Structure 1
Amino acid sequence: MEQTVPTDRPATDAHSGHAENGHHQHDHSDHVGQFRRLFWIMLVLAIPVVGFNDMFADLIGYSLPSGEWVWWVSPVLGTVVYVWGGRPFLTGGLSEIRSREPGMMLLIALAITVAFVASWGASLRVLDHELNFWWELALLVVIMLLGHWIEMRSLAQTTSALDSLAALLPDEAERVEGEQIQKVSPADLRVDDVVVVRPGAAVPADGEIVDGSADMDESMITGESKAVRRSTGDRVTAGTVATDSGLRVRVTATGDETALAGIQKLVRDAQASSSRAQRIADTAAAWLFWFALGAAIITAATWSLLGLPDDAVVRTITVLVIACPHALGLAIPLVVSIATERAARGGVLVKDRLALESMRTVDTVLFDKTGTLTKGEPTVTAVSTVDGHTEDDVLAAAAAAETDSEHPLARAIVHAAQSRDLQVPSATNFESSPAVGVRATVESRVVEVGGPYLLAQHDVDELTVADTWRDEGAIILHVLADGEVLGALRLADEIREESRAAVDALHAAGSEVVMITGDAQAVADTVAAELGIDRVFAGVRPEDKSAKVAELQAEGRRVAMVGDGVNDAPALAQADVGIAIGAGTDVAIGSAGVILASSDPRSVLSVIDLSRATYRKMKQNLWWAGGYNLLSVPLAAGVLAPIGFVLPMSVGAILMSASTVVVALNAQLLRRLDLSPAASTSRFRDDRADAQT
């Protein structure tokens, strides 16, 4: 059988030690496998150690079979458990001694060593029979191995959750080559290739739909179960599934440049950072070591001075064994494991544990406007007409003229007409003039769409509503037919439907919401007014965004920055918590501590929700685990002996096991947390309503 590789902090050191080579995933699975095998082997050995131990038999109240061999079962198998199963803790304890940083591993090593020596002393009748700790030694090693297995598995589960995305890629792609369709490996695709995605099939690479529309299942990327309609011009991500109809997609990114590759790359950094709560647990273990050692010395000295050397030995060893942090060893790893799994399944990718923990203390959320609160692309937001024409007439005529144009404004107009299910007539004689507009013949009329220069060419006035739209920072295009103005279109960067709910919920959570943008003040104020944003930084150059974050921090605020672009990276790094929103396709993820797979700004509430719930569980577990030791050690030392009460070793062992069960069950409650953006948003609103009531 393969022996485990000892380490004093398996979850952290094993992870970071291989982060820069190509064996990260193997490293994780190897350690998880080793601890899993070691746990099950020790569990099997522990059963006869406990079952044939006379102290445990007396405690439970059953009789052991007769025979000399019964006496040897616990000592022999208990020794195997100590040497083999306890090796990671013994070597970890030695490592902490060498580094002069006593902590969890040294405390465990001390406890199992004391239990081992005392048990042999009791078995050989050199020490008091009450010091027969073989059953407690076996359970102690098994429980601590379980804790380390869970800690390693928490990393492997994150890796597995993200690597499972890659398994959703098709084994082959159908590439269009002239009139033929050739089946190739997704790895052979190149940018600008056109691929066919059949109904029910997965998209082989990131791309843009050039033909067709379909309801896309993007749950494996965003965590949202509801299918999203995607049509010509929309971008699709590798691994998403066209559920109801076929598509033709032009490849825009392959290999390491795809969103899936970006997410998988996060695995190398995910969980590598030190957790504040884990550091608290390590610090608690260090203090607990000195507390237990000091209590043992005081116990030995006190009982010896009282003239009871036998009791001194019994009580001292009992103190050291009871002080072993069963529950403390599980308190943080189990919570981290469950929280990480819940986050990954909810579309929240935790790159930095510390960022997740810090999110609960954030009081200011700074949103980049474009692509975060808004969709980052122009949309027709209003249509104004002159007498005798309807909005549909004007929009259909404009869409007909713009059909052959590739300009983003043209695509926005065509998309607006399609969304209204308008019958767009065909156009001929299409012409495009830079800075003026487009012209085409539509149903025997010359239809033109353009800005101020177009109006000047025909010597006609703009509609009166244009002044209002201009003050709001919108783009204004007029539609003319044979030189006569039919109406005007208002185009602006469309606000995401979820943004208002996100801002309201953040207010309910007690956070101030700030928006930063490079757009003009008028544009920024319009968006801010519509969403109810508290403060606006407008006209900010990309390189100055981080300075604005620092400005907020100088006011004593703890800032979470939410952005999606390359230019947001410095600000994300400057913020107390950097959150990259979107599928992680740009360099912003390099500076963010948390990546939201969804572009839904309400997902920020999911991060706050998870942060608060995780911290709450960690704190509860730490208090329970530490509190047990603070209470049980003095009782085991005999502090209440003057009034006739001394904590029996058997009762202390039962309480120790009970505390471990409580910690484990408490952590499991995290699995019930619904991290969908809608659920988190609703919770914050309900909490505010309850508080007001």
Structure 2
Amino acid sequence: MTLPTDPQPADHGDMTRTDASSGTPEHDGMDHRAMDHGAMNHSGHGDHVGQFRRLFWLMLVLMVPVVGFSTMFADLLNYDLPDAAWAAWVSPVLGTVMYLWGGRPFLTGAISELRQRSPGMMLLIALAITVAFLSSWGASLGILAMELDFWWELALLIVIMLLGHWIEMRSLAQSSSALDSLAALLPDEAERVDAGEVTIVAPAELRVGDLVIVRPGGRVPADGQVTEGTADVDESMITGESRPVSRGPGSAVVAGTVATDTALRVRVTAIGDDTALAGIRRLVADAQASSSRAQRLADRAAGWLFWFALGVGVVTAIAWTLLGSPEDAVVRTITVLVIACPHALGLAIPLVVSIATERAARGGVLVTDRLALESMRTIDTVLFDKTGTLTRGEPVVSRVQPLPGFDEATVLALAAAVEGDSEHPLARAIVTAARARGLDLPAATGFRASTAVGVTATVHGHEVAVGGPSLLRQHGLEPLEVTASWALEGAIVLHVLQDGTVIGALGLADEVRPESRDAVKALRALGIGVVMITGDAEAVAQSVAAELGIDRVFAGVHPDNKAATVVQLQHEGHRVAMVGDGVNDAPALAQADVGIAIGAGTDVAIASAGVILASDDPRSVLSVIELSRASYRKMTQNLWWAAGYNLLSVPLAAGVLAPIGFVLPMEVGALLMSASTVVVAVNAQLLRRLDLRPGTSTARVLGARGATHG
């Protein structure tokens, strides 16, 4: 049985292709784990965020009558409550519903924190609402003093805390999984050859030793060895190498890579967990697991405040019992424990995060991990992937060298005429370059493509051929002397022949993005080191690095070594941000202190990163740094204001100034608590002044005027 063939795009031998479409995998939402710690797990499913939103609105509706019929609140605003007997039970009944229903997430979270022996925000909130609930019932039943009727405070506390957690969860909900994206690189089906018959099977059904057919443009379903056929295989998603690699009989191919031009027969040598793709998957999973242990700043503050409030409460109870009366001790202690949970602390971080992520999105920066955004301010080294990040990831004609008797326009026009019928990436680059120069392309007939050699056609009665080294060898010709330096700089060299004679040469290279120069310059101006990593050869890497002014380069790096390179930099004492766009970058993105994915990259790279650049402009990295520093300032200011208010009000509520005749009234404490919430909210709103469009942050760093916006 002969190897099946499909209409083939032109083959250029050593010519390259710099990227391939990975398709559009479907993403399943990640199950939201129980809200069992601090501000809960933020990898929640969208529906869970919806449930939290509905809970907030329901509690907001119930809060109105609870607050309105509260005796303390009525006294505070000086209005009269109805004389009817039922009016006295509105707040207790609805307040109980709010405590059991709206307070349930905080109560269950507090239990989890107790089990983990890690007090945080949940325990602090649960302590306050539970003390308020019990004391309010005591006041309503006449067991305790009426000044301990905290139903209105209980209702406000639950609603504001629900609002804060809803905002935080909504802003951080993730919609995709890196591991699902890795699995999506495998084709949905494979063509297995069995006793001369071709059958369609799922990749999971393949076994070692099976023979499969990979058609042009198709993905390899499992690791294997080519038994028949020769094709340029795009391995950029796995190895990071921008050039397709020629694979023929005896060559190894990797699951998930793409045969770009001709069909292959492949003998399966590894399946399932033994494939290279599965190895990358494990690296991503391990790196993600190791980076998820970071603890939130607000939760630490809440933990400290919990012990502070508990300590002050115990001291208050003892002091007032010994120096005052048991009744005063109960009132002061309960007041301390209720006032210890600040509304502002519950909103200090969520509001900043929500506004920061919204401003970031408007500037083309998508934040999927708040910890990544928070960490970006401490980064001292940015590790850029080359292909598709610092470069465009596709070839362009960078040089044209004609021989005497011809000019650049003629050589390029003839090459473009021959390549006009080809779909090869290099052919498209040549045609695009000719059209960009406004050249008229002559008609070509008799188009022929030769695998691993080049393309040929008849133009104006002359046979014109375009190809790499194999084409020259076929005609017994030597390459132009100038092309040796091109090759050393990493360019792809194609020669143009007319009637068997060389008339010129073309140099094609992966074009460096103009914005990359500004990005590197601005990062260095901030004192941040810039390092480049690539699967490309040393010559290609050094050429790009020299053009951009990057001193440190890691070239010829495979996926597992990319993550290891990040670890190496971290062991050197650096805090590393990794910027990349391919599957091969995913482990490194997850391992880095901050992973930044170019939005035009693969789904797995995006899902492995904490920050996604919606554009392909590397200057956006500066926007992330500026946003991180600004938002951290706001978080710190809000935390100090929220916690600082408590550090002052709790001792006053405990009666530390009682010897001189001053004890903070509960009503005043409540009003100050509300005022602190307003201050926190207004301070967070100031983040909206940031302009994070690509290039604006770079311009501010460099002090440039009239900087263009990417």
**TM-score for both structures, normalised by structure 2:** 0.71
**1:251 equivalent in structure 2:** none
SS of the aligned residue for 1:422 comes to coil
Judged with a 3 Å threshold, the aligned counterparts in structure 2 of structure 1 residues 354 and 102 are, in CA distance, closer, same or farther, namely: closer
Match of 2:464, SS state, is strand
What residue in structure 2 maps to residue 553 of structure 1? Answer: 570
- Residue 167 of structure 2 corresponds to 150
* Aligned-pair CA distance for 1:590: 5.7
Please tell me the residue identity of whatever aligns with 2:660.
I
Q: Sort the Cα spacing of 1:616 and 1:312 in 2 relative to 1 into closer, same or farther, 3 A.
A: same
Q: CA deviation at 1:126?
A: 4.5
Q: 1:58 to 1:36 in 2, by over 3 A?
A: closer
Q: CA deviation at 1:323?
A: 0.6
- Corresponding position: 1:30 with 2:58: no
| Residue in structure 1 matched with residue 60 of structure 2 by the alignment | 40
Which has the larger displacement, 338-347 or 635-644? Answer: 338-347
The secondary structure found in structure 2 opposite 1:598 is: coil
Structure 1 residues 112 and 406: alpha-carbon distance in aligned structure 2, compared to 1, 3 A threshold: closer
Deviation track 1:235-288 (CA, whole Å, cap 9, x = no partner) reads xxxxxxxxxxxxxxxxxxxxxxxxxxxxxxxxx99x999978863322322222
1:329-408 aligned within 5 A: 329-343=346-360, 346-387=363-404, 389-408=406-425
Look up the match of 1:566.
583
| Structure-2 residue corresponding to 1:664 | 681
- Report the Cα distance in structure 1 between the residues aligned to 2:337 and 2:453, rounded to whole angstroms: 85
C-alpha displacement at 1:387, in angstroms?
4.8
The equivalent residue for 1:314 is 331
Tell me, yes or no, if structure 1 residue 675 matches structure 2 residue 695: no
What SS does the aligned partner of 2:324 have?
coil
CA distance in 1, matches of 2:701, 2:384: 19
Q: SS in structure 2 opposite 1:491?
A: strand
Cα-to-partner distance string for 1:118-176 (whole Å, 9 max, x where unaligned): 344445555444334333233223323333333444356x659xxxxxxxxxxxxxxxx
- CA change 1:456–1:312 in 2 (3 A) is closer
Alignment match, 1:282: 299
Q: Say which SS state the counterpart of residue 677 (structure 1) adopts.
A: coil
Aligned pairs for 1:600-639 within 5 A: 600-639=617-656
Q: Deviations over 1:481-508 (max 9, x none)?
A: 4455543322111112322222123223
Query: What secondary structure sits across from 1:668 in the alignment?
Result: helix
What is the Cα-based RMSD across aligned positions, in Å?
A: 3.8
**What SS class does the counterpart of residue 595 from structure 2 fall into?**
strand
Give the superposition deviation at 1:559.
Answer: 1.7
Counterpart CA distance in 2 for 1:314 and 1:559 is 52
Q: Distance between the aligned counterparts of 1:329 and 1:625, measured in 2? A: 9
Shift of 1:618: 2.4
SS at match of 2:446: strand
1:535 aligns with 2:552: yes
State the Cα deviation string for residues 200-222 of structure 1 (Å, max 9, x = none): xxxxxxxxxxxxxxxxxxxxxxx
The match for 1:12 is 40
Q: Is the 8 A contact 1:49 1:134 kept in 2?
A: no
2:443 aligns with 426
Deviations 1:469-525 (A, max 9, x none): 233232233334445554332211111232222212322332111112233333222
Residues 120-519 of structure 1: pairs in structure 2 closer than 5 A? 120-123=137-140, 126-155=143-172, 279-343=296-360, 346-387=363-404, 389-433=406-450, 437-451=454-468, 463=480, 465-482=482-499, 485-519=502-536
CA shift for structure 1 position 63: 5.1
Instruction: Decide which moves more: 295-304 or 638-647.
Output: 638-647
Q: In the aligned structure 1, how far is the partner of 2:93 from the partner of 2:322?
A: 36
Question: What amino acid does structure 2 have at the position aligned with 1:299?
Answer: T
The offset of 1:655, in angstroms, is 0.9
Tell me the alpha carbon deviations over residues 54-110 of structure 1, each in whole angstroms, 9 at most, x when there is no partner. x33443344556666655554555455445544444454455445544433333333
Deviation for aligned residue 1:412: 1.8
Deviation at 1:426, TM superposition (A): 0.5
Identity of aligned residues (%): 72
Please list, as runs of the form range in 1=range in 2, the aligned pairs for 1:516-527 lying within 5 A after superposition: 516-527=533-544
Secondary structure at the counterpart of residue 375 of structure 2: helix
Structure 1, unpaired ranges of 5+: 161-190, 195-267
SS of equivalent to 1:324: coil
Q: Distance in 2 between matches of 1:610 and 1:559?
A: 17
Q: CA deviation at 1:544?
A: 3.2
CA distance in structure 2 between the aligned counterparts of 1:487 and 1:634, rounded to whole angstroms: 86
Which secondary structure does the structure 2 equivalent of 1:653 belong to? helix
Contact 1:584 1:595 in 2 (8 A): no
Are the equivalent residues in 2 in contact too, given 1:277–1:618 (CA < 8 A)? no
Distance 1:656 1:130 in 2: 17
Where relative contact order (Cα < 8 A, 6+ residues apart) is larger, the structure is 2
Checking the alignment, whether the CA contact within 8 Å between 2:38 and 2:299 is kept in structure 1 is no
Cα 1:6–1:411 change in 2 (3 A) is closer
Q: Which amino acid aligns with 1:631?
A: L
Q: CA deviation at 1:460?
A: 7.0
User: What is the CA-CA distance between 1:365 and the residue it aligns to?
Assistant: 1.2
**CA spacing shift, 1:76–1:582, aligned 2, 3 Å:** closer
Contact 2:578–2:594 (8 Å) recurs in 1: yes
- Distance, in Å, in 2 between the alignment partners of 1:572 and 1:389 is 49
Give the one of 60, 78, 86 matched to 2:77: 60
Letter of the 1:503 partner, please give it: V
Aligned 8 A contact 2:110 2:126 in 1 = yes
Take 2:372 and 2:486, find their aligned partners in 1: how far apart are those partners?
A: 41
Q: Within 2, Cα distance between the matches of 1:429 and 1:83?
A: 81
Contact 1:581 1:595 in 2 (8 A): yes
Q: For 2:493, what is the secondary structure of its paired residue?
A: strand
Aligned: 1:113 with 2:134: no
* Offset of residue 606 of structure 1: 3.4
Distance 1:564 1:441 in 2: 41
Partner of 1:212: none
Question: What is the identity, as a one-letter code, of the residue corresponding to 2:50?
Answer: S
| SS of residue in 2 equivalent to 1:12 | coil
| Preserved CA contact (<8 Å) 1:274 1:353 | no
TM-score, with structure 1 as normaliser:
0.72
Consecutive unaligned residues in structure 2, runs of 5 or more: 1-32, 177-213, 218-284
2:5 aligned residue = none
The CA distance in 2 between the partners of 1:43 and 1:640, in whole Å, is 34
